[in-house]
Amino acid sequence: MALLGIDIGGTKLAAAVFTEEGNILSKEIISLGGREGAAAGSLITSTVSRLLRADVSSGNRVESIGISVPGIYRIKEGTVWAPNIPGWDNYPLLKEVTEVSGGVPVIVDSDRACYILGEMWKGNARGCTNAIFMAVGTGIGAGIVADGRILRGAHDIAGAIGWLALTRPFRDEYIGCGCFEHHASGEGIAKTAREYLENESEYAGELRNKPVEEITSYDIFVAYHNADPLAIRVIKQSIEYWGMAVANLISLFNPEKIILGGGVFGPAVSLIPDITKEAARWAQPISRGQVTIEASALGGDAGVYGAGYLAREKYQSRS
């Protein structure tokens, strides 16, 4: 038997066939090619149909299908809101895939949920029943497993940690994205640096080599490793925010693991000891002694592993 995991991103999808133990038998990456709405849905259903047929012929029959979606999954309705796929405001993905699956069960969840499930299955949160994946990329979100179950909330949008209030007073810049995300997402790091560059005419370091509006978080990490003083200030402030957010997750959830992932971790992985130290100042002291903070083991594959894990759970709950 085999499991099919599909990780839908904003521009491409990854599809992997797993053994029940989580070994990958095959994996492919397929570009969405700018498809929107039902065209994106068709690409997914045709991929599922093809892989179901392929695995019958190879003898590894797919018995369950898990899908990770880049946004919110409304579990009661079976529909998806995905901001980066136009037309997916309320998309009936579960129904569409179920119609082509020939009776093979299908389960869908958000990418954030899949990241932490992937790490619990095959990454750095193995054996945990309380674990959190903090994904820091363009935006910030968290997949939270509490007492063995994905935290959903009343309307499936629990874990919106980009909105954490971490510093006073309120600023209008927080309106569109939240305080934590404004200061400490990939985009937030770049914004902070741009602000400093505009206000500090005496600075003449390497971040002046580019037009200020083209500065990215990547440039700032490079400058940081070159000991650029402005980059150091920006990154130190980010460490403070990441540490405070991690501390708040520790105090609220008393988890065993917090996994740091997303595009920024990446280059920020070397900062995890500093983030851990900052978190330790703020967090509930007993809980902080019971948690470890680690980088994602699976990186860009966390979502597809999580989708495979969903498929496995669905399969096991049927038998």
Contact 227, 269 (CB under 8 A): no
33/153 with CB nearer a second copy: 153
Judged by CB under 8 A, does residue 153 bind a second copy? yes
Q: Which residues of 250-260 are buried (b: 16+ CB within 10 A; e: fewer)?
A: bbebbbbbbbb
180/315 with CB nearer a second copy: 180
DSSP designation for 270: G
Judged by CB under 8 A, does residue 274 bind a second copy? no
- Encoded amino acid at 3, one letter: L
Q: Which stretch binds a second copy (CB under 8 A): 115-123, 186-194, 218-226, 276-284?
A: 276-284
| 23, 31, 290, 292: which one binds a second copy (CB under 8 A) | 290
CA atoms of 257 and 275, how far apart (whole Å): 14
> Least distance from C-beta 64 to a second copy, angstroms?
23
C-alpha separations of 224 from 11, 67, 133, 227 in Å: 30, 38, 25, 5
- Residue-by-residue DSSP string for 134-190: EEESSSEEEEEEETTEE---TTS-TT-GGG---SSS--GGGTTT-HHHHHHSHHHHH
Residue pointed to by tokens 């179901």: 52
Q: Is 64 helix (H, G, I), strand (E, B) or coil?
A: strand
117/142 with CB nearer a second copy: 142
> Least distance from C-beta 166 to a second copy, angstroms?
6
| 29, 165, 236, 270: which one binds a second copy (CB under 8 A) | 165
| 34, 59, 103, 169: which one binds a second copy (CB under 8 A) | 169
| 4, 283, 298, 311: which one binds a second copy (CB under 8 A) | 283
Q: Which two tokens stand for residue 279?
A: 């978190």
91/180 with CB nearer a second copy: 180
> Least distance from C-beta 24 to a second copy, angstroms?
30
Judged by CB under 8 A, does residue 71 bind a second copy? no
CA atoms of 259 and 279, how far apart (whole Å): 13
CA atoms of 281 and 288, how far apart (whole Å): 9
109/219 with CB nearer a second copy: 109
Judged by CB under 8 A, does residue 76 bind a second copy? no
CA atoms of 190 and 194, how far apart (whole Å): 6
| 188, 255, 262, 306: which one binds a second copy (CB under 8 A) | 255
Judged by CB under 8 A, does residue 82 bind a second copy? no
Judged by CB under 8 A, does residue 33 bind a second copy? no
Contact residues for a second copy, defined by CB under 8 A: 128-130, 142, 144, 146-147, 149, 151-170, 174, 178-179, 240, 244-245, 247-248, 251-256, 281-284, 286-287, 290-291
